[in-house]
Amino acid sequence: MKRGLISIPTKIPGPIVEQVDLLVSQGLFTSRSEFIREAVRDFLADEVERIQPHRLAFAMVQRELMGQVKNRPVEEIVEETRKIRRELWEKRK
């Protein structure tokens, strides 16, 4: 995972930049960069959550499992899950 700030050169229409500069001049953001960082962060959170929440959830699971997967034989997984099933069912009875 990359850390720290990374420069991404981009072009933004003038009228939009003027509106950003207005918000910065009113003290709502410290700089154009800060505004863009906040905007990207918010949009990312909303869009990923709205459109593909399962993909984000899956990516988070994959990250947790990285380097830890045991590659056990199918029969072992089946046996263990049968045991878990019995135990959980007993607790529900």
Partner 1 sequence: MKVMIDTNVFIFGIERPISNSNVIIGLIFKRNLKPVFSELLVDEISDYFKRNYSKNTGWLVSDLIKKLPNVSIESESEIKSKINKNIEKYGFSEEDVVHFTIAEEFDVEYLISLNRHFLKKKIKKPIVVSPHDFLKNIGVEPITDFE
Q: Which residues contact 19 (CB under 8 A, 6 or more apart)?
A: none
- Smallest distance, partner 1 to C-beta of residue 37, A: 27
**Closer Cβ to partner 1, 31 or 52, answer by number:** 52
- Smallest distance, partner 1 to C-beta of residue 78, A: 5
Cα torsion for 52, 54, 57, 59, to the nearest 10°? -80
Element (H, E) at 30: none
The count of C-alpha atoms lying within 13 angstroms of the C-alpha of 13, restricted to the half-sphere facing its C-beta, is 3
Under the rule (CB under 8 A), what is the footprint of partner 1?
A: 53-55, 57-58, 60-61, 64-65, 68-71, 74, 77-78, 80-82, 84-86, 88-89, 92
- Smallest distance, partner 1 to C-beta of residue 29, A: 33
**Closer Cβ to partner 1, 15 or 67, answer by number:** 67
